[in-house]
Amino acid sequence: MKTENTTSFARHPFWQALLRGVITGGTLSIAFGAGFFFNQYYVKPETSPTSFELLNEADAVLEDDYLYELPEESDRIHAAVAGMVASVGNRYTYFVEPSNAEVNEDSLAGRFGGIGAELTRDEQGRYIIATVYRDNPAYIAGLKEGDIIVAVDGEAVDESDPDMTNLLAAIRGDIGDIVAITVERDGERIDFEIERAEVLLPSVIWYVVEDSPEIGVIQITRFTERTPEEIEQALQELGDSNCRALVLDLRNNGGGLVNSAVGVASKFLNGGVILYELQNDGSERVFNASVGGSWLDEPLAVLVNENTASASEILAGAFRDRERAVIIGTQTFGKGSVQHIHTLSDGSQLHVTSAEWYTPDHERIEEIGLTPDIIVEPTENSDAALDAAVETLSETLENT
């Protein structure tokens, strides 16, 4: 029968050898083809000798052999990630734990559940209330500028903390919840229980110069989502007050959202380049001002100092290169790099330096900063930079 003939044919030693050769060759061909495919399209990175297995190994040793109570597993993981990110050696590339990530987002949004007060640190590292916003919870409760915060919800403030993010996270929270704050005032400790409310954190302050009513001052403290809208309101009110020239105060402005800075620039520039962004792949992105700003021709002076950084340096650099304003003050900070914020699976964030900013004249900002047109060093008993700006603008108005 056919089946028997086939079986006996296959059992012949010659054909068995031939068949083995065909199978072996076919297998090698398939293996080669598969290897080529995966090398071209799906190469798995080689595992380093110091791989994540080492991390698990070290963690297991801690679990088995550590004498005292270990931190929570999530805290250990966050510390490991923070250490890994710190190893790249770039101060603007860093890891942010979930609670602190929320504080960052709230600050950039310009609104959050809080008490309505600005904090700062004194020379001793203590956390001080710098500003209490009128009609906000802190104001109503009786907190005052100069109060030293010593505890929040019974937990002592850690003055060794390098920044105030943890403290802000403790003070802020859900609207309607109570936060207990202990302050020191004139050597006495005072306890407050304050109900959190939605705080609209202003990023723009404006006023008319008392002795020069034709000159207005606009101070931008940070660039948030709401800053362009606040600037428009400031320009409207100062225009209604018959101001014919402006001082834009960017001193101590550490930056914020670059799109917000572009929006502000568009109030003063009628189109054209604001900045160039050099990407990590070597390409260049151009940011242009929109057309039709509300303060295009009036005289403008910009104040900067050593704490003027990031988005505020972009704005000052654009005005300088475009000859839209005279820049007055001291050398700026020199923070011209771009950080992409990646939100991770547990709500933590990874800030990664991925680009650099350049002025319209292609001048680098990172680690260099901007040199003002008029250098004015600060003085103890007066605002020398503001005085110089008012004098410069007054001369300009006299000549127009």
Active-site positions? 310, 321, 335
Residue that the structure tokens 């568009």 belong to: 266
Single out the residue of 260, 377, 357 nearest to residue 314, CA to CA. Answer: 357
Cα 281 from chain centroid? 22
Amino acid at 134: R
Amino acid at 211: D
- Provide the β-strand partners of residue 183: 149, 190
Q: What is the DSSP letter of 19?
A: H
Strands (E), 311-399: 326-329, 337-343, 349-358, 374-375
> For residue 276, what are the CA distances in angstroms to 90, 355, 358?
21, 10, 5
Single out the residue of 291, 304, 300, 316 nearest to residue 244, CA to CA. Answer: 300
Q: Which two tokens stand for residue 111?
A: 């609104």
> For residue 42, what are the CA distances in angstroms to 33, 45, 176?
13, 9, 52
Single out the residue of 201, 235, 41, 223 nearest to residue 131, CA to CA. Answer: 201
Residue that the structure tokens 């990630």 belong to: 81
The distance between the two most distant Cα atoms of the chain, rounded to a whole number of Å, is 118
